[in-house]
Structure 1
Amino acid sequence: MARYIKVPAAAPPPRTARYSHAVEAGGMLYVTGQLPIDPDRPDAPLPPTIEAQTDLAFRNLALIVGAAGYSLADTVFARIFLSDFNRDYAGLNAVYHGYFDDDARMPARTTVGVATLGRGALVEIDLILARSTA
């Protein structure tokens, strides 16, 4: 049985899209890609730097993950989309490694460059998590 999770404190879906923030099924949590939208001011302009945008995307991810009863430490896979891969890859990693700093428990990851992201964002991140058994 699947559990569909919507988190009022996280950035809301755009008015033109309908989806859950996350779905839990089969002991896994699948978190919808998060843009760097301030959940307190969803219509505010996006921050100008990849570092600020990455941090804001992770703020939304952490809100969703926490509301579902998980921790970012439960992440087993991260998928990251960058609108300018060559320019922003290092800045993304500077922030990413602050969230995942245990070299022995790094999630698997894919990072790809894309032509464009919603709202002109520089980054979008989705996650897959599994409950910790330790």
Structure 2
Amino acid sequence: MNIYLFWFIQLSWGIVINLFGLLITVILLCLGIKPERYNHAVYFEIGEKWGGVNFGGFLFVQKNASDRLKSHEYGHSFQNLLLGPFMIFAVTIPSAIRYHVRNIQAAKGIMLKPYDDFWCESWATRLGEKHSKCK
């Protein structure tokens, strides 16, 4: 996909989730944290051992994040291109709830299913692999 088309759709059909990403980006820039590019997206590495989160064309990942993690979060960017304003309800909120539930379960010693067992996470991984250099 062309970078201009990627950002045109992110900032039109997919604007809702990108506004959150833009707000976080402005805060991080004011704190002196510099972004990098991952394919068409912008990403920041912050914190340690927490994974990542996607807000449209803006990715936020842990320091020294693997290419697989960045690719997965990039896959969420393509979900936003497809789902637009429905992304927040169809993917973002369910994924965030699941993330926190998994942390609670792990702390209790409960055996967890693979991360990609959840439909929107496996979809993001496949989209990330398809649209990035990570295979």
TM-score (norm 2): 0.23
Greater RCO (CA < 8 Å, at least 6 residues apart):
1
Q: Which has the higher strand share?
A: 1
TM-score (norm 1): 0.23
Q: Which has the higher helix share?
A: 2
